[in-house]
Structure 1
Amino acid sequence: MSITADYHMHTHHSGDSTAPMEDMIKSSLDKGLKEICFTEHQDADFPDWYNLPEFPFILDTNAYREEFLHYKELYAGRIDMKFGVEVGMQTHIAAENTEFVQKGDYDFVIASIHLVNRKDPFYPDFWEGDTVENIYRQCFDSTLENIKLFTDFDVLGHIDYVSRYAPKGDTTYCYSRFADQIDEILSYLIKNDKGLDFNSKLLGNDISLLPNPVPDVLKRYKELGGKIITVGSDAHTPEKIACGFEKMRDIALTCGFKEYYTFEKRTPIAHTL
């Protein structure tokens, strides 16, 4: 078998992508996918940094839904399309995020940490003023705090997102070093029937890199009783769709998984790896 569903991708409806939705659909078809889920960004109260436009990650849900339904009908019978969203968590907007999701009639919801202490690890100044290890610990603490406050989601997005942008050459991050915090997050997800976004974005840049989460974290999720993983490229451009999916399948199988999941109306559906 192979992975034929990409469950994390963005179009021009997300503030960090300019990709036309139809281009993403056509690329998915070219790559042999049978199902895709658009997961446009909704990051309320994102800080005003680096000349970003005003409200860069506030999703125009109506415009997104209208275009999605148009292409869902146009490509019916060729590819199964699902209506999803990636919600950026911050503790002070947990209630706002819950209200947003409940109004959206989504098939699938990813909850992600993109900000810690109102700063994004994508930018170098995030890493200033503290040790890298302490910053990782702050990120994992924030993740646990947020998933306890905002609970209306299906999978936790790229649990170790922060590791993507660590200072070059830093070797602070590995599962064993932060096992106490990561295990607490994973255990909470499992207890509350939440899954993990198994995210191949870095593989689209260099196939030798590791996905998010890294294999040791994915394996630990399985050991603790976790079952639900979705596989997504986090593509913001057509050529990145399904990047590294063969490697992702091999890693998942090695970690003990036999299935990956898609969603319909927030209900998980298992598929053989």
Structure 2
Amino acid sequence: MILIDCHTHTQFSVDSEADINACVERAAELGLDAYAITDHCECDAWYPAEHYSAEESEFHEKTDYKADYEASVAAVTALKEKYAGRLNLICGSELGQILFNRDAAQVVCSDKRVDFIIGSAHRIHGEKDFYFIDYTKLDMDGIYDLFGRYFKEVYELSRTGMFDVIGHITYCLRYMKQRHGICPDISRFDDIIAETFRTLAHSGKGIEINTSGLRQGFGATFPDLKYLKMYRELGGEILTIGSDAHTVEDIGANVSDGAELAKEAGFRYLAYFKERKPNFKKIF
């Protein structure tokens, strides 16, 4: 079985303290076929705090992601040389909120050091990151309105092409179920999800299986088997797997489960990226 982890974070992500050297050494010890470091780079908080108005700052837990991005890419680039021949190390970036600042996204997309870009929607216009929303203050109509806007933004993200795969589709579900046991039925959004998948398949872009939900109390991947099958049936071919690890210990977590799920969904190959081009490897 091919074992890849194409979504991980280190000390250069605001929500991680994982030492980058320890992360790379751990990936090498695990014998991963491909390992990508994809530290956070939120386009809506690309500049230092003084750039933003008080109203804009309300939605930012941190600013100046440009500095984090530069530090991460420089560190990974040096480690790629150090581990050449021992580890297939990939220099990546998790590029959040591309729709908010396409100029910032273009800087990352144009950087020749970057092998791989995950496009993610951690928040939507007029809302904080889904992590910080208090779902107990919303009734079900409010939750479904929030989800409708999320899936619309993911669709609009798919049309930009400023990424290689879209990360953790169905991210909007993560925290309300883990913390409050709220389990909305997102099947009412299947039409726009399907249109997103068609757009990705047509444009040669992909999605990931994000395995974090399997170890964090959610009980499923993002997206789950139903939507992986939908993506495959609509022509999707590019599929990566990522643990979304924010600690050294979680690197590679459940990626074998992700590979099994990919096979069940009808995929024969997984992908990892080098120089922004997919490399396909048989799952088994």
Normalising by structure 2, we get a TM-score of 0.86
Cα deviations by residue, 1:196-230 (Å, 9 ceiling, x for unpaired): 01111122334x81001111001000001110001
Q: Secondary structure at the match of 1:18?
A: coil
Gaps of 5+ in 2: 46-55
- Say whether 1:197 aligns with 2:205: no
**Aligned 8 A contact 2:4 2:255 in 1:** no
Q: Which stretch of structure 1 is more off in the superposition, 23-32 or 76-85?
A: 23-32
Q: Which amino acid aligns with 2:23?
A: M
Whole-Å separation in 1 of the counterparts to 2:193 and 2:250: 28
Q: Which residue of 1 is the match for residue 236 of structure 2?
A: 226
Gaps of 5+ in 1: none
Q: Secondary structure at the match of 1:45?
A: helix
Q: Which amino acid aligns with 1:179?
A: D
Which aligned pairs between 1:47-196 and structure 2 lie closer than 5 A?
A: 48=57, 52=61, 54-55=62-63, 57-117=65-125, 118-125=127-134, 128-129=137-138, 131-148=142-159, 150-166=160-176, 168-174=180-186, 176-196=187-207
Deviation of residue 178 (structure 1)? 1.8
Whole-Å separation in 2 of the counterparts to 1:55 and 1:104: 24
Whole-Å separation in 1 of the counterparts to 2:176 and 2:195: 22
**Aligned 8 A contact 2:73 2:114 in 1:** no
Whole-Å separation in 2 of the counterparts to 1:189 and 1:3: 24
Whole-Å separation in 2 of the counterparts to 1:229 and 1:23: 27
Deviation of residue 90 (structure 1)? 4.6
Whole-Å separation in 2 of the counterparts to 1:128 and 1:107: 41
| Identity among equivalent pairs (%) | 30
Q: Which residue of 1 is the match for residue 27 of structure 2?
A: 28
The number of equivalent residue pairs is 268
Deviation of residue 50 (structure 1)? 9.2
Deviation of residue 59 (structure 1)? 4.3
The 1:142/1:69 distance shift into structure 2, 3 A limit, reads closer
RMSD (Å) for aligned C-alpha atoms: 2.2
**Aligned 8 A contact 2:161 2:205 in 1:** no
Deviation of residue 69 (structure 1)? 2.8
**Aligned 8 A contact 1:90 1:115 in 2:** no
The 1:57/1:125 distance shift into structure 2, 3 A limit, reads farther
Deviation of residue 6 (structure 1)? 0.8
**Aligned 8 A contact 2:135 2:176 in 1:** no
Normalising by structure 1, we get a TM-score of 0.90
Q: Secondary structure at the match of 2:9?
A: coil
Deviation of residue 9 (structure 1)? 0.6
Whole-Å separation in 1 of the counterparts to 2:215 and 2:67: 25
**Aligned 8 A contact 1:198 1:232 in 2:** yes
